[in-house]
Structure 1
């Protein structure tokens, strides 16, 4: 399975935002959606503030793959459900990275948002 390089992890982890284009059923890419992104260890995570019912999250479920762009890294990825055990690490990463956005960061830390945590895995 492909993995992120240290340079990619650093660049994505340092970027404020990520643009996500999920694949439709026919393989074409949807319009990019901009969101927050965090690095926790050797993994990259995103979440939907609106939880599993959020529009972009529902779109990701079609094929569970797409393309991301963040920190100068442009990569095809697979979207994998993060295990419940991974959520606390992502929570800490969100608090550390976006804590200056008092009040706003709390929206990605609700149980609804936590349940939508996706791990981004690079594709070959």
Structure 2
């Protein structure tokens, strides 16, 4: 695995939305789903706003890899666990970027109830 470039982190992190797709068992990509993305430090994160049963989220966990598009960046990724202790910074990033949409919407991707639904995006070779 390679690291994100600063340019990729900035472009994806500043993008309003991200499109994410996971790989099927046959190696083809599923249709893209549009979701929010945040940058916290040198990492990019996505969360399931509708719980662990959300289709894109379940498929991402099952496949472990996929592809993202955001901010002019298109990249194969690994769907990884978050680092211990990262949740507070990820919540701050979501609030800082998306609070203008209101507390009910941002509340769907922040707080202790959704911390376990966080996926760290790692670039894949």
Could you state the TM-score of these two structures normalised by the residue count of structure 1? Answer: 0.94
Q: CA deviation at 1:110?
A: 4.0
Could you tell me whether the CA contact under 8 Å between 2:33 and 2:56 is conserved in 1?
A: yes
Compute the RMSD of aligned alpha carbons: 1.1
Give distance in 1, aligned partners of 2:108 and 2:121. 20
Structure 1, residues 29-51: CA drift from partner, whole Å, max 9, x if none? 11100000000010000000122
Give secondary structure in 2 for the equivalent of 1:11.
helix
Unaligned runs of 5+ in 2: none
Tell me how many residue pairs correspond in the alignment.
124
Structure 1, residues 46-103: CA drift from partner, whole Å, max 9, x if none? 0001222211111112221000000000000000011341111110000000011112
Give secondary structure in 2 for the equivalent of 1:96.
helix
Moved >4 Å (runs of 4+): none
Unaligned runs of 5+ in 1: none
Give distance in 2, aligned partners of 1:6 and 1:41. 11
Query: Which residue number in structure 2 is paired with residue 120 of structure 1?
Result: 121
| Within-5 A mapping of 1:59-98 | 59-98=59-98
Could you state the TM-score of these two structures normalised by the residue count of structure 2? Answer: 0.94
Give distance in 2, aligned partners of 1:62 and 1:79. 10
